[in-house]
C-alpha cells in the first residue's frame, strides 16, 4: 500500500507510455508489468517528483535495443526469470539512491547479454513441410510466438510395387516431434493420386508410423495418407501413391475366363425324357433276354399260369354242378 501512486503521478506515466509507444518497450513490456515499472521509478524519483516522467522515458529508452528480440519459445521462461531478477536488482539500486539512468542502461546491457546466449540455440525450419513445434519462436515485438510458415501437407511420394509383392510406407518427418501424445492415423483414396481430403476414408486397424501391405493387389492402387497428431492437433500429413504393376497369376486368369463363360451362358429349355416301357415281345426279341436263367423263370411262370387256370375252371365246374 505504501507504493500506491496518486493520480497526479499515474497520469504523466500513462502519457509517457503513449508517447513512447508500446513497441519501444519490447521485451520489457512482455515480461514486466506496468505496476512493477512504475514502482521502480517511484522509488528512484519519488511519488510526487517531477522527474517521475523522465524516469519512465529513460526506462523505455534503455530497452529500445531489445525491440526486435526473438528467442526459442521454450526459453521464454528463462527470460522471464531474468527480467524478474532484474526488477529486484533495480529496486535495490533505487533504495540505495542510485541514478536511474545509469541503473537502466546497466540493466539493459545485462539483459542483452542474456538474450544473446538464448538466441545462439536457434532451430531452423526443415523440409518437408509440417507444424514444427520445436522451431516455435517468441517475438518481443508484439509478445507473440510463431512457427515456420510451412503447410501441413507434404508432397506425394510415388511407390511402384509388383503385384504379389510387399509395399511399405514410413510416416516419418525430418523435424523433431514431441515426445508424448503422438498418434498416427492412416487413410486411403482408392485408384486416385490426390491430396484432396474428401476422397479419403479411414483405415481403422492401421496404427503406428509404419504401414505394410502384403501381398499387393490391384485393389490397393491409390493414395495412402498418414496424419501425425499431437494432442489432437495435426502436425503433418504425408501422402504415398501406390502403383501396382505386373500381370495377374495364370491360375487367376483361367478362373476369370471360366467366370466370363458362366456369365455368357443362357439356360435352354429342358427336354422331357419319357421312360421306356417295353412289351413282352420286345423283351423276348432282345438277344440278351433268353438266357438259361431267364428261360427257367419263363417256364415256371407258364406252369404257374396253367395251374391257376385249371384250378379256376375246376372251382367253377363244382359251383355250377352243386347248384343243379
Tell me how long the chain is: 324
19 and 54 in contact (C-beta within 8 Å)?
no
Predicted pLDDT of residue 15? 37
83 and 28 in contact (C-beta within 8 Å)?
yes
Predicted pLDDT of residue 275? 57
- Spell out where 77-215 has E strands: 137-139, 144-146, 153-162, 167-170, 182-190, 201-202, 210-213
How many other C-beta atoms are found inside a 10 Å radius of the C-beta of residue 117?
Answer: 11
Predicted pLDDT of residue 222? 95
Cβ contacts of 148 within 8 Å, gap of 6 or more: 125, 132, 135
The helix or strand, by DSSP H or E, that contains position 292, with its residue range, turns out to be helix 292-323
Predicted pLDDT of residue 10? 34
Cβ contacts of 73 within 8 Å, gap of 6 or more: 136, 137, 138, 145
Q: Among residues 88, 116, 113, which one has the least CA distance to residue 103?
A: 88
Predicted pLDDT of residue 315? 85
Instruction: Give the DSSP per-residue string, 14-30.
Output: HHHHHHH-GGGTTHHHH
Predicted pLDDT of residue 217? 92
Predicted pLDDT of residue 26? 65
The helix or strand, by DSSP H or E, that contains position 228, with its residue range, turns out to be strand 222-230
2 and 39 in contact (C-beta within 8 Å)?
no
Cβ contacts of 192 within 8 Å, gap of 6 or more: 199, 222, 223
209 and 171 in contact (C-beta within 8 Å)?
yes
Q: Residue 260 and residue 301: Cα distance in Å, rounded?
A: 60
Phi, psi of 275, deg, nearest 5? -70, 150
Predicted confidence pLDDT, tens digits, the chain (324 residues):
333 333 343 333 333 333 333 333 567 788 888 888 888 888 888 777 777 888 888 888 888 766 667 777 778 888 888 888 888 888 888 888 878 888 888 888 888 888 777 765 566 666 666 666 666 778 777 787 777 767 778 889 999 999 989 999 999 887 778 778 889 999 999 999 999 999 999 988 778 888 898 899 999 999 999 999 888 888 889 999 999 998 766 655 566 667 777 777 655 554 454 555 666 666 666 666 667 777 787 788 888 888 888 988 888 888 888 765
Q: Which residue has 510463431 as its cell numbers?
A: 146
Distance of CA 250 to the CA centre of its chain: 38
Instruction: Give the DSSP per-residue string, 307-319.
Output: HHHHHHHHHHHHH
Predicted pLDDT of residue 253? 58
Q: Residue 83 and residue 66: Cα distance in Å, rounded?
A: 12
Q: Which residue ranges form the domains of the chain, and what is each CATH number? A: 7-119 (no CATH), 153-245 (2.60.40.10)
Cβ contacts of 6 within 8 Å, gap of 6 or more: 47, 48
Amino acid at each position: 500500500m505504501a507504493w500506491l501512486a496518486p493520480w497526479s503521478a499515474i497520469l504523466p506515466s500513462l502519457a509517457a507510455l503513449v508517447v513512447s509507444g508500446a513497441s519501444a518497450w519490447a521485451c520489457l513490456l512482455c515480461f514486466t508489468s506496468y505496476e512493477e515499472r512504475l514502482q521502480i521509478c517511484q522509488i528512484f524519483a519519488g511519488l510526487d517528483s517531477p522527474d517521475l516522467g523522465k524516469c519512465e522515458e529513460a526506462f523505455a529508452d534503455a530497452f529500445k535495443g531489445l525491440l526486435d528480440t526473438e528467442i526459442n519459445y521454450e526459453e521464454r521462461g528463462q527470460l522471464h526469470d531474468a527480467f524478474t531478477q532484474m526488477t529486484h536488482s533495480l529496486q535495490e539500486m533505487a533504495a540505495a539512491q542510485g541514478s536511474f539512468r545509469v541503473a537502466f542502461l546497466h540493466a539493459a546491457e545485462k539483459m542483452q547479454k542474456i538474450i544473446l546466449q538464448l538466441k545462439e540455440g536457434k532451430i531452423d525450419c526443415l523440409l518437408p513441410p509440417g507444424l514444427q513445434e520445436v522451431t516455435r519462436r517468441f517475438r518481443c515485438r508484439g509478445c507473440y510466438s510463431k512457427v515456420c510458415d510451412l503447410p501441413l501437407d507434404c508432397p506425394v511420394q510415388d511407390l511402384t510395387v509388383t503385384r504379389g509383392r510387399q509395399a511399405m510406407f514410413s510416416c516419418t518427418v525430418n523435424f523433431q516431434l514431441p515426445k508424448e501424445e503422438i498418434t498416427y492415423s492412416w487413410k486411403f483414396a482408392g485408384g486416385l493420386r490426390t491430396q484432396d481430403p474428401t476422397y479419403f476414408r479411414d483405415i481403422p486397424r492401421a496404427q503406428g508410423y509404419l504401414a505394410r501391405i502384403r501381398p499387393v493387389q490391384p485393389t490397393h492402387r491409390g493414395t495412402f495418407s498418414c496424419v501425425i497428431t499431437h494432442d489432437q492437433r495435426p502436425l503433418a500429413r504425408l501422402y504415398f501413391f501406390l502403383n501396382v504393376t505386373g500381370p495377374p497369376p495364370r491360375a487367376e486368369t483361367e478362373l476369370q475366363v471360366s467366370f466370363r463363360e458362366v456369365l455368357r451362358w443362357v439356360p435352354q429349355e429342358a427336354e422331357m425324357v419319357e421312360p421306356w416301357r417295353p412289351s413282352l415281345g420286345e423283351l423276348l426279341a432282345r438277344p440278351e433276354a433268353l438266357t438259361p436263367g431267364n428261360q427257367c423263370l419263363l417256364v415256371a411262370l407258364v406252369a404257374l399260369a396253367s395251374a391257376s387256370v385249371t384250378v379256376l375252371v375246376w372251382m367253377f365246374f363244382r359251383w355250377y354242378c352243386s347248384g343243379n
